[in-house]
């Protein structure tokens, strides 16, 4: 970990995502922030992901987590509140594992076993996007390439992590640092209403809803997400 004069901003990717999901924010914010993106591809617990992210820096950090990365950000705030100076939770959830959730996730794993990551892309990626964005060839090519860089083993490991996650509501109640929530208006996986419930548990927190946007907000609406992050990062 190289020393830096800039404050450190950790951008945490979600399920089957890598730094490409944050490309727009990295380009826009790297002038003022030392941006670091952890690699969760070989990890199969939220706790291990949180430790890996914290190991990327030695001092205080601002942490923004997308989707599964939001779960990791909550875990980081719970285990190292003295290190986590700010938290942004985006297109994510806090609910504990529900009865029957493992069975609901099983079909995607079966597709991965029988059709590989190409099948996973076909089944999983379109519902993650705001439907009009499905005709944006450049965006869809980027998102498809990102998922294909993942592997069946990564999907299975990250699914195990999600199925063993902690109760995020309890973690949210412990957060005392400046906190923001961001959600795509058309996110059917983690809808804005879910974020309203989470926001109510963190005093002084804000909620930004990104219009015309599905679950992949950082890539679907990079300018709007960057603006939301700037407001959070500069808030006293």
Within 13 Å of residue 51, how many CA atoms lie on the same side as its CB?
6
84 sits in which H/E element: strand 84-90
Cα 57 off chain centre by: 19
Q: What pLDDT digit, counting tens, does each position of 55-95 carry?
A: 999 999 999 999 999 999 999 999 999 999 999 999 999 99
Q: How far is CA 44 from CA 33, 109, 157, 160, in A?
A: 29, 15, 4, 6
| Among candidate residues 20, 156, 187, 167, the one with its CA nearest the CA of residue 92 | 187
Beta bridge partners of 183: 209
Q: In the predicted model, what is the mean pLDDT of residues 40-44?
A: 97
Q: In the predicted model, what is the mean pLDDT of residues 106-120?
A: 98
Beta bridge partners of 184: 210
pTM of this prediction exceeds 0.75: yes
- Which residue stretches of the chain are H helix? 23-29, 46-54, 68-79, 101-128, 137-149, 152-163, 168-172, 192-199, 217-220, 222-233
Residue 190 has pLDDT above 70, yes or no: yes
Q: In the predicted model, what is the mean pLDDT of residues 210-218?
A: 98
| Among candidate residues 58, 70, 52, 51, the one with its CA nearest the CA of residue 7 | 58
Domains of the chain: 1-236 (3.40.50.1820)
Grade residue 236 by pLDDT with cuts at 50, 70 and 90.
confident
d(CA 33, CA 42): 27
């Amino acid at each position: 970990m190289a020393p830096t004069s800039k404050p450190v901003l950790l951008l945490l990717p979600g399920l089957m995502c890598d730094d490409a999901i944050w490309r727009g924010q990295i380009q826009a914010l790297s002038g003022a922030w030392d941006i670091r993106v952890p690699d969760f591809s070989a990890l199969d617990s939220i706790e291990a992901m949180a430790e890996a992210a914290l190991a990327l820096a030695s001092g205080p950090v601002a942490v923004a987590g997308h989707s599964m990365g939001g779960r990791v950000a909550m875990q980081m705030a719970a285990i190292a509140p003295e290190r986590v100076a700010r938290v942004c939770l985006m297109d994510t959830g806090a609910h504990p594992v529900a009865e029957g959730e493992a069975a609901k996730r099983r079909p995607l794993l079966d597709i991965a076993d029988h059709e590989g990551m190409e099948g996973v892309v076909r089944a999983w990626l379109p519902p993650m996007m705001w439907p009009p964005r499905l005709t944006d060839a450049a965006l869809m090519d980027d998102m498809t390439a990102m998922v294909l860089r993942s592997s069946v083993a990564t999907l299975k490991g990250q699914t195990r992590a999600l199925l063993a996650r902690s109760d995020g509501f309890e973690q949210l109640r412990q957060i005392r640092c400046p906190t923001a929530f961001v959600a795509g208006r058309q996110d059917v996986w983690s809808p804005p209403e879910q974020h309203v419930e989470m926001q109510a548990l963190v005093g002084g927190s804000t909620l930004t809803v990104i219009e015309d946007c599905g679950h992949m907000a950082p890539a679907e609406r990079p300018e709007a997400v960057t603006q939301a992050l700037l407001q959070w990062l500069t808030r006293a």
